[in-house]
Each structure stands twice: as C-alpha cells, then as structure tokens.
Chain A
Amino acid sequence: MLNRRIAASVLALAVAAPALADNPVPEGVTLSEDQHYTFWLLDAIKSMDPQVNTDVEGSDILRQLFEGLYNEDGEGNIVPGVALEHAVSEDQKTYTFTLRDDARWSNGDPVTADDFVYAWRRLADPATASEYAWYMELMQVENAPEVIAGDMPPEELGVRAVDDHTLEVTIGTPLPYFPQMLVHASTFPVHAATIEEHGDAWTRPENMVGNGAYKLDEHILGERVEMSPSETYWDAENVVLDRLTALTINDVNLGLTRYLAGELDRVDVPAGQYPRLAEEYPDQATSTPYSCSYIYMLNVGDQGPEALDDVRVRKAMSYGIDRDIIVERILQGGQRPSYNWTHWATAGFEVPEIDYAGWDQSRRMEEARTLMEEAGYGPDNPVALTLNYNTSEDHKKIAIAVSQMLKPLGFDITLNNMEWKVHTDRMQAQDFEMARYAWCGDYNEASTYLDLFTSYSGHNNGEFFNEDYDRIMKESKTAEDPQPLYQEAEEILAAEMPVIPIYHYAQVDMVAEDIRGLPTQNVMQTWYAKDMYRVAE
C-alpha cells in the first residue's frame, strides 16, 4: 500500500485552477466581430500524431487538437488540463493523477485514464517506432528502456489506469520537474478505437478524433491547416477564437511581407529586421525569451584536435568572442549574449556568477592573450581549427564574425559550411573540431540543458567527460533544491569550457495588435488558442 501525500505542486495547481475555468477574456473588454486567427508555419507539418510528431511546429498544432494532463499558462506555470491534480508517494516515485470527468473526445466518448495508458504505451512500443520514444526514458517512466528495446511488452510500462479517472505513473528515480514534462505533446492521449480502425491514416481530418479545444478541418501538406472549435471540449463555452488557420510559408522574408499585407496575424521576424519593425510598428513587434541556447561545441574527445585538449586554448577562444557584437549587430532581435549554457530565463534557474561575463571585452582579450601565450600559441604560431556550421545565413554571419574576432589571438579558423544532415552526422560521429550547435529545452527546468553534458547523455558530441559534473547532475535528481547544484554544474562548464556559449534565443515576432492571450513570460513559448481572443479596435 502506497503512502500518498499531497505534494506542494497540487496546492499550486489548486490556486491556479479557478482562473482556468473562467472565460479568458477579462471584464470590460469588447471582442472583435472577427475571431479568425491565422498563424505562420515555416514548414509542412510532418505528422499530426502526438506520438510520432517531433517538431516544435507540429506541437503547436497538436496542442490545439489534443489536451494532455497539464497545460501551461502565459507565465509558464502548469495548469490543469485533463488532470485536475496529482498526489506523489513518499518516495517521490509514484504519481497519481485525478482526471476531470467531463473531458470528451471529439466523437463524444469520455476521455479516460485508459486513453493515456494506451498513448504512453504506444509511444514506447517498438511497433510504433517513435523517434520520441526516448521521451519516456527522459521522464524515467518505469521499464521504458526495456519496453523500447523490445525486452519487455508495452504492458510492463510504469503507467496504469486505477479507474476511469485515476491514472498512476511509476518512475524509476524521483524527478522534481516531472509534472512540467507532461505538457509535452508526445504525452497527449489518443483515441485507441480510431487508430485501430484507420491505422496511419487516422490523422486525416475525416478520421481524426481528438480531445483538444479545436478539431481538424483540413490539412493540405505544405500549404495550410484549418481548425475550428470542438463542441465536445469540456471548456468549449470559453473558447473564443472561432477559426484557426496555419499557413506554410517556407521563406521568412516572404512570411513577413505577407504579414504586412494583412494575410497573417503572427509571423517570425527575420534576423536583423527587428529594430526597424519595432520602430515602425511598436504595437506589433515583440521579442520574448525563448528556451534555446546557441553554442560552439568543441571536440575535446580522442578524435578532437590536440590544441583543444588544453583548457587555456578553449578559454581563450571563449574570451575572445565579442558576443555583444553578435547579438547587437547581427541578430538584433533582443537575444542575449551568453556566457553560460542554460537559458537565462529558465524557471527557477539563476545564472551563477561567471568571471568573464562581468569583464569588458578588452579585459577578456587581454586574459585570452595571456592564456594563449602560456599555452604556447599566438599569431606567430596559430591554432588551426575548422568550424563546421549548417547552411543558414545567420550561422554564416556569426561564423565569419567569430573567425575574425579570434584571428588576432592566434586562431586560424577555416569555415566549413555543410548541409544540415551532413553536419549532424559528422558531429554525432565526433568527426569535427568545432561545430555550431543549438539546443532547445524540452521542459522548463535547467536539467533539460545540463543533462546534456553528462558522460552518459548520448548528446554529448564533444565528449566532455567530467566526474564531478556527472556526480552533481546525479545528485540534483534527488536534491530537495537542485538549483545550487545546477549553478555548480554551470561553474564547471565555465571553468572547463567544453563549449563556447554564444547567445540565448529570443522569440521575435510580429503579432497583430488586436490579438490577446499569447504567452508573454513563458520561455517555452507554448501557446493555446483557447486562451486567445481578438479585441475590437
């Protein structure tokens, strides 16, 4: 018998709960007649199957068509979705979720705990062959690795329906941020009968059964997605936007042109254009922090160049890069220069004091020169390195700037532009010296970044292995407050410099002036159309 106690997070949810069931429109606001919202997609949606999708844009669509256990509000706090609350066992390994009893699928069937069990097993099941099966492992769901490897049947996965409205999840090690991870689209429930009837074609508009606030009306690959409110959604009466259209426009600049022509309500701003747009359209140009971090990864492993084995060389390189120039002159969209790995706006995370972050650039250059001299290098005896980057105008501009900034210190950097797949393939085979890399958080907590540089992470392409780092990250999983440990981990990265942080992302958008309800403080940029509305101008 498990000894359950109500976790602190439940209390937090209970506070947030009353606000959610209310209409998202505050008193006294006049709504526009037109409640049609059109947004931009860079590319075709690869899949509308929650357990198959791998893309951020795909998730943006799925969040409207399906609803998971929890949602996020505009500040990034978790709020009830299908789950109203949860309790955690004493050992922090068993989560019991209470599901709302009024949740319905778009065909009228009730949404039950079994639907989640089905979806989660499906995600891990080798027969599904989901690229995101690893998310089950990341969530530490019991037996996930064995199920994925085919050594155990999916029924052994640590998730079960106690009754129709009670879901129980067992995880292998305590994870303080487990509830945050449930916002991810791959954990959304799916309707078993529909999938069994239609197979891979179940995501077609005519077949799809979802449990989200919207239903799929039309999906023309690479052209458009049309959605309208679902009458069976439990909170349908508070859904305001009456039509959603997503248009695929593969060119960012053209997307902006079409936004300015009034065809779209939201579009990304191309690099370098934000200052002009912010001046011309102050009510429409927005820049908000976005949980991704841009770095140059150094190959410090066996296959890496000898010079990079020397921490002094790595540090000199990092000190020598003037990040202010990169964000202020090249990107110009409110990105922040970074001297650490984890995005500064990640929930609960405070960037530790990192010495060189506080210096001015001339001091950094001075220190870098000294370090290079000590290491036996300099303009007369330069370190020759190849910097790999994948095709993109912005990556190219940054790479050129960096190679020029580092030249006076004695770095002779050859730029090597590669197609994305080749670039990735080389990195993963440790066939690189220095490579452009970016990582976006899977959930709003620092471990989504910091776990990457553990020796056992599988994404640590530069092969930075550090025992202290591994120990700290392991400890953080069970710590009452992991934040000081995260800071320690960042300090190790700053001292060892296996990667060179460049900048932290910002989401730079043009948003029509009458649109309300998009997240303003949510670094994950998760948005829900059911929280949005248009005001009368």
Chain B
Amino acid sequence: MLSYTLKRLAIAIPTLLILIVVSFVLMHAAPGGPFTSERELPPEVLANLNAKYGLDQPLWRQIVTYVWGIVTQFDFGPSFVYKDRTVNEIIAQGFPVTLTYGILSFVVAVVVGVTLGVVAAIRQNTVADYFAVGVSIGAQVLPNFVMAPILVLVFTLWLGWLPGGGWQGGQWQYVIMPVIALSTSFMASIARITRSSMLETLTMNHIRTARAKGLPERRVILRHALKPAMLPVISYLGPAFVGMITGSVVVDVYFSTGGIGKAFVDSALNRDYAVMMGVTILMGALTILFNLVVDILYGWIDPKIRY
C-alpha cells in the first residue's frame, strides 16, 4: 500500500511537467498576448513590457525559468494583468474562498444525494422514489447559470433574505446561495448513482443472507448494503470533489465571491500566462492527488482490491 502510494506520487511529477509544457506551449500559441489591447502599444512600450516579463526570451527558456522558479522558490511569478499582485497572492486570496464553498457544496451534495438515492432505492416505485427521482432529474437539468440568477431574484430581490453576492470573509449569509448553486447538479448525479447502485446491491446474496438471519432492515441497509453500494459513488466523488474545490466560474461570476474559478477563466481570456499556469498546475496537482485518494478508498471499501 505504501509503496503503491509512493509510486503513484512519483508518477505525478512527470505528469505535472508534461502538463506544464503542453499548457505553456498551447497558451503561447493562442493569438494575442497579455498586452494586446484596443490601443496598440508603441513598439518601444511593448518591448519594455516583454523585457520585464521575460516574454522576449525563446519559449524553451521561458519554460525552464518558470519551472525553476517553482521548484526552487515555489514562485509562480507575477501576474501579467493584475500587475501589483503575484500569482501566489492571487491563488492565496481566491483559493481559500473556493475551497470553502467547494467543500461545503461537496458535503451538501453527498449528504443530500446519498440520502435521496438510498430512500429512492429502498422505497422503489413509491411516491418517495418518484419524488427523489423527480428532484434529482430537475436539479440535473437546471444548469447553475440559470439557477444562480433565479436564486438571487428570489432570495435577494423578492424576499430580501440574503445578500445578492460578495463574500465578506465567508459569513454564512454569503455562502448559502453559492453552495446551493454549486452542489445541486452534483447532488442530483450522486442521488442517481446511489439509487441504481443500491438497487443492484439489494439483490445480492449477502443481503439476502443478512435478511435471512433476521437482521432489522435498518441494519441491513446501513451495515451491509450501503458500503458496497458506495463503490460507483466513490469513483464519481473523486473528480467531483476536484471539480468543486477548483472553482466554478458560474458561482464566482454570479455571486462575486472572488474565487479562483473566475480568475482562471479571466487569465485565459486576458492571456495572463502566469495566472493561467499557476491555476492549471494547482488543478492538475489536486486532480492527481484526489484520484489517488479515491484509489486508496477503494481498497478500504472493497477488501478484494489489492495493490
């Protein structure tokens, strides 16, 4: 197990390097640059800017310098667009925000999704099942860029209960709507996966055995059915968790949270090479890490899996 984990972590390094090089090259291949604006800069001004940010160097040297800065000083460089900030500062400001609403959304999505799925499965073809399936399908088809403005309209403009956006250091009033908007579709997916997986598990031999032993139904479900039923859910949760904590541009745009999702999309549109690379690496590292976590969880849930 330990050697497996170490091996996986060792593979992560070349993976990240490839990610860096490919992103770097693709990014520079896109037309326009960080200093392209409707006011075309005089050549001498552009030359000064390119010199300051090292863009006058050949691409390979830019990549080497960049990677060297990360490896030696954990320095992701200055933002080319938010000029009085470094990439480290931008991530340090935005990522905790994203992490907060991401983790909360994850918890909400898992708790509500699994509950709905289990209830639907054990009460299959009853009103409870139809309700749970209805809710999850409704939540799935309503995209969050539609839901977000509707939430603001209802809770801010009509009811006046919640502020329409902002973050204010993560005060609860500011967190509710981003969490609802972000968690809903994940919750729906989790509910559907849980339901079908649970239905399948309930037909298995060990469940029949448990029931035959006369165990109370509650114990059968929680003790014997839930754990194996969670396998497909877990494999979904890994990427879903990364998706949630690496930010949602929709949440950031509609609720002005100042999170990392908006910064990422802006960096691509602004050709803010440094921010784009920084967030890409962050997301890449998190993806690798959580895929590993999921694989380890597999082994814990299903003892048949060996590394």
Contacts and interface: CB of A to CB of B under 8 A. Distances in A.
Contact of A52 (B83, B253, B270): B83
Contacts of A419: 269
The residue in A221, A248, A458 that gathers the most chain B C-beta atoms within 10 A of its C-beta is A221
B32 A257 contact: no
B35 interface: yes
Contacts of A43: 266
A425 B160 contact: no
A47 interface: yes
A148 B165 contact: no
A49 B33 CA distance: 22
Contacts of B298: none
Contact of B36 (A260, A261, A424): A424
Interface stretch (B104-112, B149-157, B179-187, B214-222): B149-157
Contacts of B262: 222, 250
Given A129-B49, A221-B90, A248-B256, A461 B40 contact: yes
B282 interface: no
Contact of A261 (B45, B164, B256): B164
A126 interface: yes
> Interface range on chain B: under 10, 10 to 19, 20 to 34, or 35 or more?
35 or more
Interface string A147-178: 01110000000000000000000000000000
Nearest to B79: A46
B294 to A, nearest CB: 31
A220 B167 contact: yes
A201 interface: yes
Contacts of A130: 45
A133 interface: yes
B85 interface: yes
B84 A247 contact: no
Interface in B91-109: 93-94
A258 B82 contact: no
Contacts of B39: 134, 459
A44, A137, A201, A458 — most chain B CB neighbours (10 Å): A44
A101 to B, nearest CB: 31
B41 A134 contact: yes
Given A150-B48, A437-B38, A49 B83 contact: yes
B180 to A, nearest CB: 16
B163 interface: yes
A54 interface: yes
B271 A424 contact: no
A145 B43 CA distance: 11
A204 B92 CA distance: 15
A223 B84 contact: no
B276 interface: no
Given A247-B166, A250-B253, A222 B149 contact: no
B160 A221 contact: no
Interface in B72-92: 78, 81-86, 90
A133 B45 contact: yes
A201 B167 contact: no
B40 A458 contact: yes
Contacts of B164: 254, 257-258, 261, 263
A254 B165 contact: yes
Interface in A250-270: 250-251, 253-254, 257-258, 260-261, 263
Interface in B242-261: 252-254, 256-258
A425 B36 contact: yes
B84 A48 contact: yes
B37 interface: yes
A303 interface: no
Nearest to A431: B31
A137 B45 CA distance: 11
A222 B256 contact: yes
B51 A126 contact: yes
A223 B167 contact: yes
A396 interface: no
B288 interface: no
A437 B252 CA distance: 29
Interface in A409-464: 419-422, 424-426, 428, 437-439, 458-459, 461
A99 interface: no
Contact of B160 (A48, A54, A126, A261): A261
B248 to A, nearest CB: 13
Interface string A501-527: 000000000000000000000000000
A422 B256 CA distance: 27
Given A221-B258, A254-B149, A131 B45 contact: yes
Contacts of A137: 42
Interface in A191-207: 200-204
A424 B38 contact: yes
Contacts of B36: 421, 424-425, 428
B306 interface: no
A249 interface: yes
Nearest to A438: B38
A93 interface: no
Interface of A: 43-44, 46-49, 52, 54, 126-131, 133-134, 137, 145, 148-150, 200-204, 220-224, 247-251, 253-254, 257-258, 260-261, 263, 419-422, 424-426, 428, 437-439, 458-459, 461
19 contacts: A47-B83, A49-B84, A54-B37, A126-B51, A133-B48, A134-B45, A150-B44, A200-B86, A220-B93, A220-B167, A221-B90, A222-B262, A251-B254, A254-B149, A254-B152, A254-B254, A257-B156, A257-B157, A257-B164
Across the A-B interface, give the 6 residue pairs with the lowest CB-CB distance, nearest first.
Answer: A421-B32, A223-B258, A129-B52, A425-B32, A258-B164, A149-B44
